[in-house]
Amino acid sequence: MCEHHLLPFSGVAHVAYVPTSTVLGLGHIARLVDVVASRPQVQERLGLDVCDALNRGADAAGALVVIDARHECVSSRGARQSTATTVTVSATGVCADEPLKSSLMALIGGGHG
């Protein structure tokens, strides 16, 4: 939910991380995104919060989160752009460095960021 307008946004979060000693199951990653997304906030912070949780909670060497979301505040207020989406990229640790960042972006789909 957007903290500015208290309207929902929904979309897809692509998550990549480089594990050190702890490898998370896919369900853990999906639940992590759900938990972090359950409180009102902006999309940019959501990606950073998921990266930070992976870095701290799973002792990841780095994380990359690409979020592609449609915001109700854009589709139902002012601009009224029903098909517009917002893409944000958050990267930390080794995932913020090239060439790994570019490789991860290509795996995700390359068209984002």
Residue 43 falls in the annotated catalytic set: yes
Residue 2 falls in the annotated catalytic set: yes
Q: Coil, helix or strand for 9?
A: strand
- Which residue of the set 2, 14, 41, 112 is catalytic? 2
- Which residue of the set 73, 81, 98, 112 is catalytic? 73
Rounded Cα gap, residues 11 and 87, in angstroms: 10
Rounded Cα gap, residues 13 and 33, in angstroms: 8
- Which residue of the set 5, 14, 28, 112 is catalytic? 5
Residue 112 falls in the annotated catalytic set: no
Contact 90, 64 (CB under 8 A): yes
Rounded Cα gap, residues 65 and 52, in angstroms: 10
Active site residues: 2-5, 43, 71, 73
